[in-house]
Amino acid sequence: MNDATARPFVVVPCLNEARAIRGLLLGILAHCRDVIVVDDGSSDDTAALVAQMPVTLIRHPRRRGKGEALRAGFHMALKLGATGVLTMDGDGQHDPADIPRILDAARRFPGALVIGARMLQRERQPSGRRRANDFADWGISWGCGRPVADTQSGQRWYPRAAVDLVDLPAQDFVFEAAILIAAARDLDLPIVSIPITCRYDDSARHSHFRPVRDVLRITWYTFWRVVHYGHMVRSYRASHGSPPCIHDPGRLLDAPPPTPLANAGQPPGH
């Protein structure tokens, strides 16, 4: 089949997401029938709730990190015949309503890795996370040798060629940076971002991402990849001398922010 999105799988890594996982999966299933959930050693009711849903569940008996959770999901998707994989975090931060827009961008840019970039209502993002993400964008774009918007977003479309990078030697949150860099450098895949809304609920569980520790690990990995590929100055100029590729046919970045009245009756984070 020529359409790389002919059989997309959604892979959802999760850890202690009993509060959000059922609603998230209901939203995903409205757009995609092939869903793989990787429970990374949850100690709450996450796995029991997922087991009630028409999805494929993989359970890790103990926590192995986000990288291993994604790796397990990618391997299962490949085994089941996926033509590409769309990833979403299990905490409800990503809106399933954005799935059609991401898949549309994947069709418009064949072979591209598509990132749901949290560019809308960025003021909702905690300031510490925003600064950490900005720093990661600066460094990982250098690693990719091209500008990339929101390198830390977990809502992404991976074309089949990128999914095949599943066994890269990288763990935890470094895994996503590793695939991004290898897809850009080794496969020369286009990287396209579409704007999505920052969704943060103050009552949600604390993020598993630790800005200082995880950014340092990602930075260290990225530095050595920059050294590995060489031409460091040329790579820096290529990655910071132009804006990233943003696909925004609905001109969402130009739209005014919603008024409080427009959000009346919506739950926090919507």
Residue pLDDT, tens place only, 230-247: 999 999 999 999 999 999
pLDDT at 203: 52
Number of domain units in the chain:
1
Is 176 a domain residue?
yes
pLDDT at 121: 82
Is 264 a domain residue?
no
Report which of 9, 80, 14 is spatially closest to residue 47, judged by C-alpha positions: 14
Structural tokens at position 166: 């599943």
Q: Given pLDDT bands bounded at 50, 70 and 90, which one contains residue 212? A: low
**Which tens digits make up the pLDDT trace of 13-54?**
999 999 999 999 999 999 999 999 999 999 999 999 999 999
161: amino acid identity, one letter: A
pLDDT at 5: 81
pLDDT at 42: 96
Domain range for 223 is 8-254
Q: What CATH number does the domain containing 66 carry? A: 3.90.550.10
Q: Given pLDDT bands bounded at 50, 70 and 90, which one contains residue 266? A: very low
Q: Given pLDDT bands bounded at 50, 70 and 90, which one contains residue 160? A: very high
Give SS3 for 56. Answer: strand
Is 179 a domain residue?
yes
Is 267 a domain residue?
no
Is 190 a domain residue?
yes
The whole model's pTM is what?
A: 0.89
Whether the CB-CB separation of 105 and 175 falls below 8 Å is answered with no
Is 147 a domain residue?
yes
Quick check: 255 pLDDT over 60?
Answer: yes
Is 144 a domain residue?
yes
Is 2 a domain residue?
no
Give the whole-angstrom CA distance, residue 13 versus residue 41: 11
Quick check: 163 pLDDT over 70?
Answer: yes
Measured between its terminal Cα atoms, the distance across the chain in Å is 36
